[in-house]
């Protein structure tokens, strides 16, 4: 049987193509949706911790109803009309493995995840915007940070083959389900691996998951991400699959926080950005495949938005000048990194702005490192920077448990079920506003 790839995005040399025509991806990650991120959604804790707090305060049944409404009403047709208007041609859809896998019965797949993904994919199809499926959280955690829903601060996914086997099987199920859907452009296998120490484990996982997908689906592109939150590809061997491409993320201010200050000259900032960007895009020549900057973005602040747009412009200019596809992180959240966000008077913002008065995730890393130092200096000897870095992640998971108990549950307990049930309506398009400055900037690149 001849398998057609008509209308599917494909890898052609170092380009993405559709029906032989080159396509450059320009778009967004959807947001804190099927994988809750505390600072973006405004609620302390990891995805699992947040949902457990809702279970405990409102009961499991009502909590399930609440999150179903949140997931189904987070974006709608008006959001897609806006995306189409500004020229966006793809959305990266982050999801947590727990929508598909029950940890106590890992070999029986749930259908919950398909319900929510289908909701967005159907809108993508209607508005001719490609979807890229992004597995943002895996069993045990692929990195030590909150956004992979870790409860340990350790990347245990890379320590246990049994955990990796569940994800390999899951991608087979997803491929079987979506194999004939051309408006899904690609499968993004695992978001931001980090602290991977065994190159053979890393490469074997990718080889096995690709082989599993290809049992059912020869058409879709598969994205490979590197180590160190997908900024280091030194461990990754070339993969002999014609529809494999590579994804990096670009947050150059993590290593150089001074670039976010008004004091730094813009030309100097551009030099720093360019140096890091050109280091990252060497993977295109290394693997001779197309590349995608799957995340870049910034926390936006009203009083500084014009300056912050110059930072976004400098990052996007690098993508455009170097013929690199890109996705801004993120489309919608509770007024942090999203271009679209609920207005301040909405119930969600009223709740989360109150919580932010007593909890601030931006201090988490600083406090985590301070607590590690305090522990070491009080009971042991000062420890090295190399030890401080991984240990602060573990300390932060303890802090997150405390913050849920002291800074999330008490706020939830103040609200009745009727009040809580209405919270997701805050994300409806008519309850939101957006950064027109960013919309205008994006239009510069999309020619919308």
Task: Tell me which residues are annotated as active site.
Answer: 192, 295
Burial class of residue 401 in the structure, from the number of CB atoms within 10 Å of its CB (0-12 exposed, 13-18 middle, 19+ buried): middle
Q: Burial of 111 by CB count in 10 Å (0-12 exposed, 13-18 middle, 19+ buried)?
A: exposed
Residue 28 DSSP SS3: strand
Task: Report the DSSP pairing between strands 101-102 and 325-328.
Answer: unpaired
**Cβ atoms 216, 175 nearer than 8 A:** yes
Query: Are the C-beta atoms of residues 138 and 97 closer than 8 Å to each other?
Result: yes
User: And the tokens for 108?
Assistant: 């029986």
Looking up tokens 């209405």 gives 422
Report CA dihedral (374, 378, 384, 386) to the nearest 10 degrees.
Answer: -50
CA–chain centroid gap for 164, Å, is 20
The tokens describing 352, both together, are: 């989360």
Measured between alpha carbons, how far is 335 from 346 in angstroms, rounded to an integer?
12
């Amino acid at each position: 049987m001849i398998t057609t790839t008509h209308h599917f995005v494909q890898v052609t040399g170092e380009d993405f193509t559709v029906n032989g025509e080159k396509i450059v991806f320009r778009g967004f990650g959807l947001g804190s949706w099927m994988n809750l991120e505390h600072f973006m959604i405004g609620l302390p804790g990891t995805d699992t911790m947040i949902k457990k707090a809702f279970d405990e305060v409102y009961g499991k049944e009502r909590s399930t109803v609440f999150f179903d409404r949140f997931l189904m009403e987070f974006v709608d047709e008006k959001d897609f009309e806006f995306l189409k208007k500004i020229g966006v041609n793809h959305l990266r859809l982050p999801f947590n493995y727990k929508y598909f896998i029950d940890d106590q019965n890992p070999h029986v797949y749930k259908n919950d995840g398909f319900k929510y993904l289908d909701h967005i994919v159907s809108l993508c199809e209607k508005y001719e915007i490609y979807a890229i499926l992004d597995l943002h959280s895996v069993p045990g955690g692929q990195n030590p940070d909150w956004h992979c829903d870790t409860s340990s601060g350790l990347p245990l996914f890379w320590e246990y083959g049994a955990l990796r086997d569940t994800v390999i099987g899951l991608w087979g199920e997803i491929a079987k389900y979506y194999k004939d859907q051309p408006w899904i452009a690609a499968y993004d296998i695992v978001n931001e691996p980090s602290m991977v120490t065994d190159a053979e484990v890393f490469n074997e996982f990718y080889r096995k998951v690709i082989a599993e997908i290809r049992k059912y689906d020869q058409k879709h592109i598969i994205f490979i991400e590197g180590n160190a939150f997908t900024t280091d590809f030194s461990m990754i061997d070339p993969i002999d699959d014609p529809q494999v491409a590579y994804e990096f993320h670009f947050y150059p201010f993590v290593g150089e926080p001074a670039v976010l200050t008004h004091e730094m000259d813009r030309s100097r900032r551009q030099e720093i950005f360019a140096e890091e960007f050109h280091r990252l895009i060497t993977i295109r020549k290394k693997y001779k495949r197309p590349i995608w900057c799957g995340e870049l973005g910034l926390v936006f602040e009203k009083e500084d938005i014009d300056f912050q747009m110059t930072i976004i412009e400098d990052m996007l200019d690098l993508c455009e000048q170097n013929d690199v596809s890109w996705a801004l992180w993120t489309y919608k959240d509770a007024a942090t990194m999203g271009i679209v966000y609920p207005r301040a008077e909405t119930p969600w913002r009223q709740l989360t702005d109150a919580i932010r008065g007593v909890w601030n995730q931006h201090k988490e890393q600083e406090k985590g490192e301070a607590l590690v130092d305090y522990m070491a200096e009080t009971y042991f000897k000062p420890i090295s920077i190399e030890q401080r870095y991984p240990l602060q992640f573990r300390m932060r998971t303890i802090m997150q448990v405390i913050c849920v108990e002291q800074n999330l549950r008490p706020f939830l307990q103040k609200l009745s079920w009727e009040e809580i049930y209405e919270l997701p309506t805050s994300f409806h398009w008519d309850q939101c506003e957006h950064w027109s400055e960013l919309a205008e900037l994006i239009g510069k690149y999309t020619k919308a």
